[in-house]
Structure 1
Amino acid sequence: MDLLVTYDVETATTEGQRRLRKVAKICEAYGHRVQKSVFEVVCRETDKAHLVRALQEAINPTQDSIRIYRLPTHALDDIEHLGKPRQVDPRGALVI
């Protein structure tokens, strides 16, 4: 499945900055960063369940927000892009 993961983590506190780094590391393990707080993810249903669980454990639900958009199959193959070219293929190898 194709996913778009976006997040907004409170960073005014040291704890919030730690949560931000943790959320970013979790997302990097599952997909490719395409903007500062945006990741493209190609995964299986079981991988998505692990991703969601890890993110839920990492955030403070009263201060942070994560949005996971489930896209149509192969939607990441047909993206209109403006500006700096895409650096990675969303279906390419994921190096952690």
Structure 2
Amino acid sequence: MMMVIVSYDVKTSDPDGAKRLRHIAKICQNYGVRVQNSVFECLVDTANLELLKEKLLDQIDETKDSLYFFNIGKKYHHKIEKFGSKDVIDLDGPIIF
């Protein structure tokens, strides 16, 4: 499994943009944890990363929106520093709802 940071910016000045934004957020929630409004930490394997990219690229309007994938890799534990009020979720540990 590797850590990938997904970041997006969707133009929401029209109803279609708001709909795209909701769909993109929902897709990202299925693969990772929201760490900022439009930023997700995703712990995925290569196959799921490609599937995630495909699903997100199907949703965005490349003339209005932007989408970034930052591949942090498998040894990500010491590459991410967090400061501030939001708690960090251990993606390797158990998650209880």
TM-score, length-normalised on structure 2? 0.88
Paired residues of 1:5 and 1:38 also in contact (CA < 8 A): yes
> What corresponds to 1:70 in structure 2?
71
Counterpart residue identity of residue 15, structure 2: T
What is the rounded CA distance, in whole Å, between the counterparts of 2:5 and 2:50 in structure 1?
Answer: 14
Identical counterparts, % of pairs? 36
Structure 1 residue runs of 4+, over 4 Å off? none
Structure 2 residue runs without a partner (length 5+): none
What is the rounded CA distance, in whole Å, between the counterparts of 1:27 and 1:54 in structure 2?
Answer: 9
Q: Quote the RMSD (CA, aligned, Å).
A: 1.8
TM-score, length-normalised on structure 1? 0.89
Note closer, same or farther for the CA distance 1:94–1:70 as it changes in structure 2 (3 Å cut).
farther
Q: CA deviation at 1:88?
A: 1.6
Paired residues of 1:32 and 1:94 also in contact (CA < 8 A): no
Q: CA deviation at 1:91?
A: 2.4
> What corresponds to 1:32 in structure 2?
33
Structure 1 residue runs without a partner (length 5+): none
Q: CA deviation at 1:86?
A: 2.2
> What corresponds to 1:2 in structure 2?
3
When the two structures are aligned, how many residues end up with a matched partner? 95
| CA deviation profile, 1:25-46 (whole Å, cap 9, x unmatched) | 0000000000100000111100
